[in-house]
Amino acid sequence: MTGLSRFERPVVVQVGRHSSERIVFEVNEAATILLRDVHRQTEKRKVAMDACLQVLRGEAHPPAARRAFVAAALEAKILRSD
């Protein structure tokens, strides 16, 4: 199942001003970041969480979750590389 939830291209984020960059390869990692590190409850965050959960349940494909995660990370100003 892990292979089914991997992003085709990783997403690079930096969740704290003094933390190192993180390379996100999997939907589960993206969901964890959204849950633990993105504190503003925005529509883009909600859409990204829903997309990640759909992939993890086998109801959607990773590219949809990746797009939503990138949008939420950009909005939260943690996106470093897409």
Using the predicted structure, report yes or no on whether residue 1 has a pLDDT greater than 60: no
Which residues make beta-bridge pairs with 26?
6
Kindly report, residue by residue over 56-78, the tens digit of the pLDDT.
999 999 999 999 999 999 999 99
For residue 70, what are its two tokens? 């990138």
Q: Alpha-carbon distance 6 to 12, whole Å?
A: 14
Kindly report, residue by residue over 7-52, the tens digit of the pLDDT.
999 999 999 888 899 999 999 999 999 999 998 899 999 999 999 9
For residue 60, what are its two tokens? 């959607």
Q: pTM (2 decimals)?
A: 0.92
